[in-house]
Chain A
Amino acid sequence: ETGVTQSPTHLIKTRGQQVTLRCSSQSGHNTVSWYQQALGQGPQFIFQYYREEENGRGNFPPRFSGLQFPNYSSELNVNALELDDSALYLCASSWSPVREQYFGPGTRLTVT
């Protein structure tokens, strides 16, 4: 059984640019959640996708957007990057929105 995978592992972008992060959910999982983890902090919920629809959103601006595909993989898009967007972005998948979440290794985004 393949776990949650994320790509790329690391990314460096310039302020004002746009970025797309990718996540492949664990086999059998139909729900994907995205979290932002700043250095030295706990993860913060960005949004969740269930069967290709957004199923809740945290306190993040609209320039953070996402997609879920028919195979339940997902993308996180961030427009107009700011320096404070530098963080580890974690994807988690689950069998349903109400089941426990399993995390991928994360994508480390650095904005300069």
Chain B
Amino acid sequence: AQSVTQPDIHITVSEGASLELRCNYSYGATPYLFWYVQSPGQGLQLLLKYFSGDTLVQGIKGFEAEFKRSQSSFNLRKPSVHWSDAAEYFCAVTLMDTGRRALTFGSGTRLQVQP
């Protein structure tokens, strides 16, 4: 069955420290990959996406992610975290070979930023 795993439920980092959020997927075909961020009580904002090409993709708010096919991973990184980055982060995956982009989401990682 297709699935997306975010192994870390909760991560706490200090402001200014680097960040890496993990995402692994299990799909039989080549996926499209996304990271979304959700602030409390809000909808989801698209941070970045990977469709094809360069496996290192840049997104908004200083985030980047790297697609590693051999590891079935799409980890999100930021070199220096700001207090405003505290939120819930969701990795999402969909298949390239369907005419419908139903997103399958991981269970999320809650990021807490210490001053």
Contact = CB atoms under 8 A, between A and B. Distances in A.
Given A56-B100, A105-B42, 20 more contacts: A33-B103, A42-B90, A42-B106, A42-B108, A43-B44, A43-B103, A45-B103, A48-B100, A48-B101, A56-B98, A97-B99, A97-B101, A98-B100, A98-B101, A100-B34, A102-B46, A103-B44, A103-B45, A106-B42, A106-B43
Nearest to B90: A42
A42 B102 CA distance: 13
Interface residues of B, number: 23
A104 interface: yes
Interface of B: 4, 34, 36, 41-46, 49, 90, 92, 98-108
Given A42-B90, A90-B44, A106-B43, A101 B108 contact: no
Contact of A56 (B34, B41, B102, B108): B102
9 contacts: A33-B101, A33-B103, A35-B103, A42-B90, A42-B106, A45-B102, A45-B103, A98-B101, A103-B45
